[in-house]
């Protein structure tokens, strides 16, 4: 392994712990650092308005079902969800709003939203005909709860991830005249805390699957995002999966490894999204959507 010219990388987490781990295990992959710390989405009217319009559009397309489950995965402290409810989507009475937070719900969330216990989110009424089984109560929304993981909920709805998928672990590779190298993180030779980048030449058979003809430079390989997408597409919900994040259509060399955009060409290998490419949402955020348990 040969040292790579760029300076000491920025790390998330405890530099001392990463140094000890690299000395014990050898040079680490970038994905070994895990996900970057969550960042709450700014609860702007533009973002909240997009979510309201999108939820109503998906609800209409599904035939206005009741209940309609909107699963929103983000680091929202409740401010965005509260603004969405204040704007009053047309599907409000049918709405089951599930916040999926990457960490335990902030204590302030309970003061911002009328949170329900998850078990009460889908109240069940007794069918008139016992042979028909239980029926969902209708017209009782909005009901709101917060979970640490996406719920295993069937029925009509949508799964929206806001500024979370782009923060998942990725690996870093570099393309140059000699082919592909993987960039890893080694312990410092002077035994100080922190890591230094080293390059390990990749055998052509292990070259990353970067679509198209790569230009010289460094590329983020979206290992965590691809795994997340496979899991999310297995949701039992029937409707739409939307990823709202920083997007690029084609994999391109990254300038800063602390925040590479999601590359649509890499995630499309998991499953092709709806046509049209990333659609602007708010600021630098754009949405790409996939079908969940529906045709098309």
Where are the extended beta strands (E) located within the chain? 2-3, 28-29, 68-73, 95-100, 124-125, 135-136, 143-147, 155-162, 171-176, 179-187, 195-201, 217-221, 237-245, 247-248, 262-263, 279-282, 285-292
Burial class from Cβ neighbours inside 10 Å (0-12, 13-18, 19+) for residue 139 reads exposed
Judge whether residue 66 has pLDDT over 90: yes
Question: Is it the case that residue 1 has pLDDT exceeding 60?
Answer: no
Rounded to whole angstroms, the Cα distance separating 233 from 98 reads: 17
Q: What's the average model confidence in pLDDT over 206-218?
A: 85
pLDDT at 7: 52
Interhelix angle for 45-61 vs 79-87, to 10°?
60
Whether residue 264 contacts residue 249, with contact meaning beta carbons closer than 8 Å, is answered with yes
Question: Taking a C-beta distance cutoff of 8 angstroms, is the pair 113, 144 a contact?
Answer: yes
The mean-pLDDT minimum among 43-52, 128-137, 283-292 falls in 128-137
Most confidently predicted of 39-53, 182-196, 265-279: 265-279
Whether the model pTM is above 0.85 = yes
pLDDT of residue 232: 96
- For residue 244, the 8-state DSSP code is E
Both tokens assigned to 68 = 């309609």
Average pLDDT over residues 126-136: 48
Asked whether residue 192 carries a pLDDT value surpassing 90, the answer given is: no
- Reported as a pLDDT band with limits 50, 70 and 90, residue 133 is very low
On the CB side of 161, how many CA atoms lie within 13 Å of its CA? Answer: 24
Does the structure show a pLDDT above 60 at 125?
A: no
DSSP letters for 143-163: EEEEESS-----EEEEEEEES
**pLDDT reported for residue 44:** 82
């Amino acid at each position: 392994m040969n040292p790579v010219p760029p300076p000491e990388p920025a790390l998330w987490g405890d530099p001392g712990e990463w140094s000890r781990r690299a000395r014990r295990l050898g040079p680490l992959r970038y994905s070994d650092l895990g996900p970057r710390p969550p960042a709450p989405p700014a609860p702007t009217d533009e973002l909240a308005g997009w979510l309201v319009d999108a939820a109503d559009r998906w609800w209409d397309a599904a035939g206005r079902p009741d209940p309609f489950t909107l699963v929103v995965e983000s680091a929202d402290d409740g401010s965005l969800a509260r603004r969405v409810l204040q704007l009053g989507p047309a599907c409000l009475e049918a709405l089951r709003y599930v916040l999926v937070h990457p960490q335990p719900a902030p204590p302030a969330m309970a003061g911002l939203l009328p949170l329900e216990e998850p078990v009460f989110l889908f109240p069940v009424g007794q069918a008139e005909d016992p042979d028909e089984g239980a029926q969902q109560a209708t017209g009782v929304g909005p009901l709101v709860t917060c979970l640490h993981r996406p719920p295993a909920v069937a029925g009509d709805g949508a799964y929206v991830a806001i500024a979370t998928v782009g923060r998942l672990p990725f690996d870093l590779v570099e393309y140059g005249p000699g082919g592909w190298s993987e960039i890893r993180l080694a312990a410092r030779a002077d035994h100080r805390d922190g890591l230094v980048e080293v390059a390990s030449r990749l055998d052509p058979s292990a070259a990353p699957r970067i679509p198209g003809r790569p230009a010289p430079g460094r590329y983020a390989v979206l290992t965590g995002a691809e795994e997340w997408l496979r899991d999310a597409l297995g949701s039992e919900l029937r409707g739409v999966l939307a990823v709202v994040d920083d997007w690029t259509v084609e994999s391109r060399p990254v300038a800063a490894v602390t925040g590479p955009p999601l590359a649509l060409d890499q995630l499309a290998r998991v499953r092709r999204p709806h046509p049209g490419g990333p659609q602007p949402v708010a600021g630098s955020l754009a949405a790409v959507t996939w079908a969940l348990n529906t045709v098309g």
